[in-house]
Amino acid sequence: MSSALVPRQSPQDRAQLVSGGASISPAGTALLASLWYARPAAHARMNRPDALSKYTRIPGALSDRQLADHLAGRATYAAALIGADGLACAGALDIDQGGEPAVRAALQAAQLAGLSAWAITSRNDEHDGGWVWVLYRSPVEPARIRAQLASVAQLAKFQADLFPTRQDARLPFGVHRWSGRRGVLLLQDGRRIDLDAGELEAGIAAVATLPRNAAPPALPEPERQQAPRAPQRVAPGDDAIGRYCREADLVALLTGYPGYRVVSRTARGALLRCGCPHHKHGDRRPSLEVRPGCDGRQVVVGYAPACVWHNPSGRNDAFNVYCQMEGLSPRGALRRLARPSPVASHLQYAPHPAEQMATAEPDQAKIDARQSDAERKRAARRDAAAEAHRAVERRLANDNRPGGAPAQHGVDLPTGVGETMMEASMRGLLGVVVGVVGAEPLGLGGASRRLSAARKISAGNSASSAWSLAISAEARCSAS
């Protein structure tokens, strides 16, 4: 490791690693950190097999704490091998078939090409092969590394995905979330270290002692000046990809994932609210459109610059959308689509919780309980209203009793001749006041004087001011 370039590291990352309590030695974290000189601005976390997508895209560079969690098996991360500076310090060959013999053949081909390399096997439902890693002493242009690894693949006469690219690559020595295994480390000297048998630290130490490679040769000048070739378009035809693009409903495919909702239908397709995490306000103003492409395919166009679907050339057809959402390579997507229904395969995943709530059958027992509770509350309100009505009737009966008889809630005052309804109410109110305060100082005569005063000041006033009139009468009688 002495000849390896030391990557830039922030004090926050170092503090995170020290406080994290990881059970992995710093040598393992340093080995992963040396895959870049400037770590890429985004990464991905691998999900379990029952998740909606294989990877979850996360903005921000990987921290040393996350690298330590990856090695300890608490999480599994992937990231592009092209750093934030546009350069790369590592390359890899992703072999999907052939098993361990194919991986060993790739190591021998790299050795014949003069490269120091190591590999980790990977076997699950999608592929049976592994990753062959080649590390360099200094950051170089990614195209030079890919050209060198392409010659290795040609020498070994096998097919493999070449890295570094902008596509995320699962970092080495981590636990594959679908198989639950780290794999077997293979070295060019013939050593075979089982990383799942307690030999993780030994494997990291063995890789750390390997020499780093010199920078690959520069590309020929004409090839460097040549514009990058546009990806070949696949028109809807009889091949698997074309058939999927022709038969798949792109709107239904997108809305099958959380966060994507149709806002309105247009003459050419639909306008949707995007569910990718790169919108500051959750795509409050819908910026995703599904419309026909130049060759008749349905394509999705994101008009927000930060959107994952922002592609002015309009090549986001149904197959590309499926690969992106599932985190699959084209070959992996074709293998998955082949079993059993290519068009509706994304519907095999569990529906979003909001969809489950919307489509769930109503619970009749809960409905009956809510109706019974509502009826009980209505009956209670009816009983309370009836009791209040009876209390008013009792009060009115008490107010109409002869003058000498005591009232239930206060003192009955003499009934005036030809008194108005407001005066009768005032009389009853003053009777309550006298009953509460006590009729000892004034007696019924004092209460009658108060009522007479209230009658005098109430002439020509409305019933809405009865309370203020009673107060005024109280004040006058007190003054007298």
- Measured CA to CA, the distance from residue 114 to residue 338 in angstroms comes to 40
3-state secondary structure of 61: coil
Same domain, yes or no: 69 and 155: yes
- Tell me, what CATH number does 82's domain have? 3.90.920.20
- Block mean pLDDT (10 aa), the chain, length 480: 43 37 73 93 91 88 94 94 93 90 93 95 84 95 93 85 91 92 94 93 94 90 45 47 81 84 83 83 81 79 81 73 83 75 40 46 75 88 86 78 50 47 59 49 50 51 46 48
Same domain, yes or no: 247 and 214: no
For 256-308, the three-class secondary structure string (H helix, E strand, C coil) is CCCCCEEEEECCCCEEEECCCCCCCCCCCCCCEEEEECCCCCEEEEECCCCCC
Residue 137 belongs to a domain: yes
Residue 370 belongs to a domain: no
Domain containing 22: what range?
11-220
Same domain, yes or no: 170 and 263: no
- Contact of 310 with 288, CB cutoff 8 Å: no
Q: What pTM was computed for the model?
A: 0.46
- Contact of 66 with 27, CB cutoff 8 Å: no
Same domain, yes or no: 250 and 204: no
Residue 306 belongs to a domain: yes
Supply φ then ψ for residue 24, to 5 degrees: -105, 140
Same domain, yes or no: 179 and 31: yes
The predicted structure's pLDDT at residue 202: 93
- Measured CA to CA, the distance from residue 337 to residue 323 in angstroms comes to 10
Q: Tell me how many domains the chain contains.
A: 3
Residue 372 belongs to a domain: no
The predicted structure's pLDDT at residue 19: 34
The predicted structure's pLDDT at residue 258: 81
Same domain, yes or no: 31 and 172: yes
Same domain, yes or no: 446 and 301: no
Domain end residue (candidates: 187, 220, 253): 220
Same domain, yes or no: 264 and 294: yes
Same domain, yes or no: 41 and 190: yes
Same domain, yes or no: 204 and 67: yes
Residue 365 belongs to a domain: no
Residue 230 belongs to a domain: no
